[in-house]
Structure 1
């Protein structure tokens, strides 16, 4: 059983290890998310997310972190151009980042459990909407987001420091 919860401060090394494994396991595959060691996600970003209570993890007893994501209030440049359905102040908007499940656990429903648990945590934290972006070619991820209730808001240009201007599909889920 996957336990979905906020990461504890003493789990920073486990979180850093999780994302290092994700980078190693996904580079060069059909699901390469273009993350790089010492690039994106940066160790500082991950440490800050844990410290600020924004890191959500899916933990398997005896095995460690199987899935994880960050939910903060910061959309990348380009988010402001999207005609969002929910008009909410930034403090009530959750933006999902670095959503991931280790390749060894693919196909076991952990990404869905992570998203559903993250929705519950976001509601408990008083958020009124969740938003995210993903690559247009991320067919598996897009299918998951849509099956969990996220609405496809179309293709938009966003700016990521590690990638520059890129085309992504934007998603939104009212809570």
Structure 2
């Protein structure tokens, strides 16, 4: 299995939309867990913004689109009140958003491949930590992040148009530019 994570281009927008729609359409229960809603979040304007900022990445397997992730170059204000383990300025961290694996490729360790690549990008850009939030209902994602080595740093109740008021769990992973994780190598991916 030949995997590659690369920056998305504006010409990828249709494929990105289709990937997220396939994920939401694949399982009604999982769509409810994610709380993403077509045309609300994520939507074309979100993806365009991430692409323009060089923060949207696509995972291909043997040249077929298998997943996507956003890795922002700094954290937003919602992250300021969390009790992080690593003291860092907004621009000293990257934040993972919208990690998605196409239903046809789930269960093959590709989320870990994306996390490995995100850690390498963060290390290469001299970030001190990678952070993320997971909606409280998304226990599969929380288990993935905890298995990977992310540390739970707190919870907060936030409002988003796609889900209203919900509890979110915040995670952090320290970045060491001398040693990036290779969980997928350990799993044989």
User: TM > 0.5 between the two?
Assistant: yes
Aligned length: 173
What's the counterpart of residue 169 of structure 2? 169
Structure 2: 5+ residue runs without aligned partners? 176-189
Kept in 2: contact 1:56–1:68 (CA 8 A): yes
Once the two structures are overlaid, the 10-residue window that deviates more, 150-159 or 41-50, is 150-159
Per the alignment, residue 44 of structure 2 pairs with: 43
| Contact map agreement 1:134 1:168 (CA 8 A) in 2 | yes
Q: Which residue of structure 2 lines up, in the alignment, with residue 97 of structure 1?
A: 97
Written as runs of structure 1 = structure 2, the 5 A alignment for 1:1-175 is 1-29=2-30, 32-62=33-63, 64-72=64-72, 73-75=74-76, 77=78, 79-175=79-175
Q: How far does residue 43 in structure 1 lie from its aligned partner after superposition?
A: 0.9
**TM-score normalised per structure 1:** 0.88
Per the normalisation by structure 2, the TM-score is: 0.82
Worse-superposed segment, 112-121 or 11-20: 11-20
Name stretches of at least 5 consecutive residues in structure 1 with no aligned partner: none
Offset, 1:31: 6.8
What is the deviation of 1:111?
0.6
Cα distance in 1 for partners of 2:71, 2:133 equals 12
CA distance in 1, matches of 2:32, 2:105: 14
Larger mean Cα displacement after TM superposition, 42-51 or 139-148: 139-148
Tell me which moved more, 25-34 or 119-128: 25-34
Deviation at 1:99, TM superposition (A): 0.9
User: Does the Cα contact within 8 Å between 2:40 and 2:162 map onto a contact in 1?
Assistant: yes
User: Alignment RMSD, CA only?
Assistant: 2.0
